[in-house]
């Protein structure tokens, strides 16, 4: 079942002096429970593409459809609500809420979605155990290592069972051990939760573990390969 | 959870938040205290005006108000009394005779207004009987023939407020812990009678060193003060034929209100004796003073009395003591102006702090919007942070302001140096600040309104963030 479809997506940035065609005629679709990496050199359009898929930026032309809904047809407020219910985000620099504990950070999205407390607690504890932080649920981000923070971010992204999770270079700030642990956790959750993961990366370890690798160059898709693990 | 995050967010930068909280507290303390001070001052003036001077309503002959001739008494006072007896709003009322006269002793003369009163009834309307000074005798006795009650100021003018340092005064001062060297210097003034405060103080100043005078001058003056009670006072007035008549009264007591202007003129005698002196068998009624159960009914009762009072004039305390009325009416405006200025200053501090807070958290706010926190919630969060920050300072400020004002409300604040000047225009020299529950509620509401208004700019700034751009910031 298709969870996400891109049809002839283009993104052009018009500044005063120069016109940048960041993404060119990209057409892709993603099935449920995919584990896909978008790779390419710096400036190839990975982040721009991810931002558009996540509804944070709009394409100049083309269509992005998530679960049958065309993002271009949504108003700003509808888009925020759509993101809340359908997309999980993992950022390069973790971006947890510093005043909340690990548990509260994971709970946050569910609270916004008005989940009942008992279900919230059950899901939060389950996810934090799954990412190996069951003993740190009451720690604030400042008391956690970078790898641990990114694992909390993954748990947060999955909390409300989104259609897919977007991760922009999730291992960029992690050492190799922390990166490997994170990737293993992400892969396990992808398998167990049946949630699509799409991540941009430079990291060859991430690329090796991906089931599908989409390569961008100058904003174009130059290859789209499926890998067997 | 938004409430919890907002509360936790204000403690992210403790130092900055504490600076704002302390600033808000100090502003509120100052506001509560100054308003309490003025409120206390205004209420004292109003109480003094109503209970010592004018009551809630006064009735006079219309013509008497134009020229205070003794013959212009109230028309049909019996009917006026009968009407007042039927009004439920009336607590009590009193009829008075008022005659302008010359008062004299062996040493001085002064012009006075003689109030011929029924001392028993007068106590139900005015509080002059509570204003007898220490060592100043007693209130007027209905059975006390030839008694006159005068003020401290009149006693001073008639030179029967005297000062004398005797052995017993020196002994009292010793008990008051006045040092022996100072007492030795007083020996030079012993048994000399001073007939004015100015003369006594001048002599005291020449005997004592400046520091000694500043420290012990008031104590020495108050112990050396001696009112010549039972001293004769001759009153000279015109009788009903217009001929001058003289009568001797003896001082039974000395009173002192906060209004020197009133004190200087008003002396009290029994109404019957005054009528006799004037040459009338009936008591002359120049003034009816009415005390109501509720001051707010004054206008309503006046409006009911006017058509019934015929040729007599009916006036409320607002017309009789316009200075007190002005202060009373002005208080609400004063609240708004003063608290408004404080709130404006606070608003700038709060806006500055919250703008800095939003600017520092651009990336985090962008992330919150990106993951699905809608703009209404972002706005609510920033607004709550502002309200919490302000509310903490305001709660501390209101409590401390209330405590400080309450403390001075009990001890009073004596405005040394300016006291005489204030009393000359009817204001108390010692002010007892008051904090009313209404004012506390008013201040709390103003603080919340200020906090909400102050949050609009920073919250708007947060709302305008574009997540994809905010996430790029460091």
Smallest CA–CA distance, residue A224 to chain B, in Å, is 26
Mean pLDDT of B429-438: 85
B72 to chain A, any CB pair closer than 8 A? The answer is: no
Nearest to A91 among B8, B372, B471 (CB): B471
ipTM (interface predicted TM): 0.89
Res. B419 pLDDT band, cuts 50 70 90: low
Chain A residue numbers touching B377 (CB-CB < 8 A): 112
Q: Which residues are paired to B315 by β-bridges?
A: B58
CB contact under 8 A, B363 and A95: yes
Where exactly are the structural domains of chain A?
2-226
- Tell me if B56 is assigned to some domain: no
- Tell me if B415 is assigned to some domain: yes
If you average pLDDT over every residue of chain B, what do you get?
89
Whether residue B417 has pLDDT greater than 70: no
Nearest to A109 among B11, B369, B372 (CB): B372
* Residue-by-residue pLDDT tens, chain A, 229 positions: 788 899 999 999 887 778 888 999 999 999 888 899 999 988 889 989 999 999 999 999 999 999 888 988 888 889 899 999 889 998 888 889 999 999 999 999 899 888 999 999 999 998 898 888 889 999 999 999 888 998 899 889 888 888 889 998 888 877 888 888 888 888 888 888 888 999 898 888 888 888 899 999 999 999 998 877 6
CB contact under 8 A, B375 and A95: no
Out of A20-34, A212-226, B314-328, B422-436, pick the least confident: B422-436
Question: Which of A78, A95, A115 should one mutate to test binding to chain B, selecting the residue with the greatest count of B CBs within 10 A?
Answer: A95
CB contact under 8 A, B375 and A98: no
Residues 178-217 of A with CB under 8 A from B: none
Q: How many Å apart are CA B128 and CA B394, to the nearest integer?
A: 42
Cβ atoms A38, A50 nearer than 8 A? yes
As given in the structure block, the two tokens for residue B107 are 């040493």
Q: Give the pairing of strands B266-270 and B287-292.
A: unpaired
CB contact under 8 A, A112 and B12: no
- Tell me if B201 is assigned to some domain: yes
pLDDT of residue A229: 65
Chain B residue numbers touching A156 (CB-CB < 8 A): 371
Instruction: Answer with the one of B206, B227, B248 that is the final residue of a domain.
Output: B227
Q: Is B91 left (phi over 0), alpha (psi -120 to 50) or beta?
A: alpha
- Tell me if B213 is assigned to some domain: yes
The percent of residues in chain B predicted with pLDDT above 90, rounded, is 49
Nearest to B5 among A83, A91, A97 (CB): A97
- Tell me if B396 is assigned to some domain: yes
**Residue B343 shares a structural domain with residue B219:** no
Secondary structure (DSSP) of B51-106: IIII-SEEEEEHHHHHS--TT-PPSSHHHHHHHHHH-TTEEEEEEEEEEEEEEE-S
CB contact under 8 A, A84 and B373: yes
Tell me which residue range forms the domain holding B211.
161-227
In tens, the pLDDT along B30-89 reads 888 888 888 888 888 888 889 988 999 999 999 988 888 888 999 999 999 999 999 999
CA gyration radius, chain B: 32
CATH code of A2-226, in short, is 3.40.50.300
Helix (H) or strand (E) holding B112: strand B109-117
Smallest CA–CA distance, residue A27 to chain B, in Å, is 22
Chain B residue numbers touching A91 (CB-CB < 8 A): 367, 471
Chain A residue numbers touching B373 (CB-CB < 8 A): 80, 84, 112
Distances (CA, A) of A229 to A28, A29, A167, A208, B459: 22, 21, 20, 8, 49
Nearest to B468 among A51, A100, A104 (CB): A51
Nearest CA in chain B to A168: B471
Number of folded domains in chain B? 2
Residues 138-197 of B with CB under 8 A from A: none
- Tell me if B238 is assigned to some domain: no
- Tell me if B358 is assigned to some domain: yes
Smallest CA–CA distance, residue A164 to chain B, in Å, is 13
CB contact under 8 A, B364 and A97: yes
| SS3 of chain A | CEEEEEEEEEEEEECCCCEEEEEEEEEEEEECCCEEEEECCCCCCHHHHHHHHCCCCCCCEEEEEECCEEHHHCCHHHHHHHHHHHEEEECCCCCCCCCCCHHHHHHHHHHHCCCCHHHHHHHHHHHHHHCCCCCCCCCCHHHCCHHHHHHHHHHHHHCCCCCEEEEECCCCCCCHHHHHHHHHHHHHHHHHHCCEEEEEECCHHHHHHCCEEEEEECCEEEEEEECCC
Q: How many Å apart are CA B292 and CA B51, to the nearest integer?
A: 11
Smallest CA–CA distance, residue B23 to chain A, in Å, is 25
Mean pLDDT of B121-130: 94
Whether residue B420 has pLDDT greater than 80: no
pLDDT of residue B266: 96
Nearest to A112 among B8, B373, B468 (CB): B373
B357 to chain A, any CB pair closer than 8 A? The answer is: no
In tens, the pLDDT along B145-196 reads 899 999 999 999 999 999 999 999 999 999 988 899 999 998 989 999 998 8
In tens, the pLDDT along B338-363 reads 888 888 988 998 899 889 989 988 99
Nearest to A77 among B11, B363, B375 (CB): B375
CB contact under 8 A, B372 and A112: yes
pLDDT of residue B426: 65
Cβ atoms B93, B287 nearer than 8 A? no
Nearest to B374 among A57, A80, A88 (CB): A80
Q: Is B76 left (phi over 0), alpha (psi -120 to 50) or beta?
A: left
Q: Going along B138-270, which residue ranges are E strands?
A: 147-151, 161-164, 193-194, 225-227, 232-238, 244-255, 266-270
User: Which stretches within B361-374 are classed as H helix?
Assistant: 362-370
B472 to chain A, any CB pair closer than 8 A? The answer is: no
Nearest CA in chain A to B375: A77
- Tell me if B337 is assigned to some domain: yes
């Amino acid at each position: 079942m298709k969870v996400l479809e891109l049809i002839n997506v283009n993104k052009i940035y018009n500044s005063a002096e120069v016109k940048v065609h960041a993404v060119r005629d990209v057409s892709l679709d993603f099935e449920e429970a995919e584990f896909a990496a978008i790779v390419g050199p710096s400036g190839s359009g990975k982040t721009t593409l991810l931002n558009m898929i996540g509804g944070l930026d709009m394409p100049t032309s083309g269509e992005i459809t998530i679960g049958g809904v065309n993002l271009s047809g949504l108003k700003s407020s509808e888009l925020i609500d759509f993101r809340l219910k359908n997309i999980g985000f993992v950022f390069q620099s973790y971006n947890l809420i510093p005043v909340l504990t690990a548990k509260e950070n994971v709970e946050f999205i569910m609270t916004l979605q008005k989940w009942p407390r008992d279900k919230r607690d059950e899901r939060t504890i389950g996810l934090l155990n799954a990412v190996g932080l069951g003993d740190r649920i009451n720690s604030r981000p400042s008391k956690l290592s970078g790898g641990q923070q990114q694992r909390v971010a993954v748990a947060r992204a999955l909390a409300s069972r989104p259609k897919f999770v977007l991760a922009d270079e999730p291992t960029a700030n992690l050492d190799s051990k922390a990166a490997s642990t994170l990737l293993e956790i992400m892969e396990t959750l992808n398998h167990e939760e049946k949630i699509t993961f799409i991540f941009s990366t430079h990291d060859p370890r991430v690329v090796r573990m991906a089931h599908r690798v989409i390569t961008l160059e100058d904003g174009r898709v130059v290859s789209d390969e499926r890998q067997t693990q | 959870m938004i409430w919890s995050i907002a509360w936790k967010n204000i403690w992210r930068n403790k130092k900055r938040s504490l600076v704002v909280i302390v600033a808000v507290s100090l502003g509120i303390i100052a506001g509560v205290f100054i308003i309490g001070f003025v409120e206390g001052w205004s209420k004292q003036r109003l109480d003094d005006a109503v209970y010592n001077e004018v009551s809630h309503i006064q009735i006079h002959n219309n013509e008497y108000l134009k020229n205070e001739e003794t013959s212009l008494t109230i028309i049909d006072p019996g009917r006026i009394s009968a009407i007042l007896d039927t009004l439920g709003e009336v607590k009590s009322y009193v009829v008075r005779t008022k005659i302008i006269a010359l008062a004299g002793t062996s040493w001085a003369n002064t012009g006075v207004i003689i109030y011929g009163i029924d001392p028993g009834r007068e106590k139900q309307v005015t509080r002059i009987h509570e204003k007898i000074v220490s060592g100043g005798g007693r209130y007027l006795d209905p059975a006390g023939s030839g008694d006159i009650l005068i003020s401290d100021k009149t006693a001073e003018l008639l030179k029967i407020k005297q000062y004398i340092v005797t052995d017993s005064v020196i002994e009292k001062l010793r008990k008051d812990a006045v040092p022996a060297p100072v007492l030795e210097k007083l020996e030079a003034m012993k048994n000399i009678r001073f007939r004015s405060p100015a003369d006594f103080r001048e002599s005291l100043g020449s005997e004592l060193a400046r520091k000694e005078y500043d420290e012990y001058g008031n104590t020495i003056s108050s112990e050396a003060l001696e009112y010549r009670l039972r001293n004769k006072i001759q009153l000279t007035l015109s009788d009903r034929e217009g001929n001058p008549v003289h009568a001797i009264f003896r001082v039974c007591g000395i009173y002192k209100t906060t209004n020197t202007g009133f004190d200087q003129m008003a002396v009290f005698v029994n109404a019957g004796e005054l009528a006799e002196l004037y040459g009338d068998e009936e008591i002359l009624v120049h003034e009816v003073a009415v005390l109501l159960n509720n001051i707010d009914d004054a206008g309503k009762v006046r409006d009911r009395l006017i058509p019934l009072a015929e040729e007599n004039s009916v006036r409320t305390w607002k017309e009789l003591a316009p200075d007190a009325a002005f202060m009373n009416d002005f208080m609400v405006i004063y609240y708004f102006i003063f608290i408004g200025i404080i709130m404006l200053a606070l608003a700038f501090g709060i806006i500055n702090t919250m703008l800095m807070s939003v600017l520092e958290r651009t990336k985090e706010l962008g992330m919150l919007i990106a993951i699905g926190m809608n703009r209404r919630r972002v706005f609510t969060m920033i607004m709550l942070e502002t309200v919490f920050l302000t509310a903490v300072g305001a709660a501390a400020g209101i409590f401390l302001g209330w405590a400080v004002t309450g403390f001075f409300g009990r001890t009073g604040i004596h405005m040394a140096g300016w006291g005489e000047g204030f009393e000359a225009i009817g204001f108390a020299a010692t002010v007892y600040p008051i904090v009313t529950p209404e004012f506390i509620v008013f201040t709390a509401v103003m603080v919340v309104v200020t906090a909400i208004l102050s949050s609009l700019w920073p919250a708007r700034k947060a709302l305008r963030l574009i997540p994809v751009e905010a996430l790029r910031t460091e």
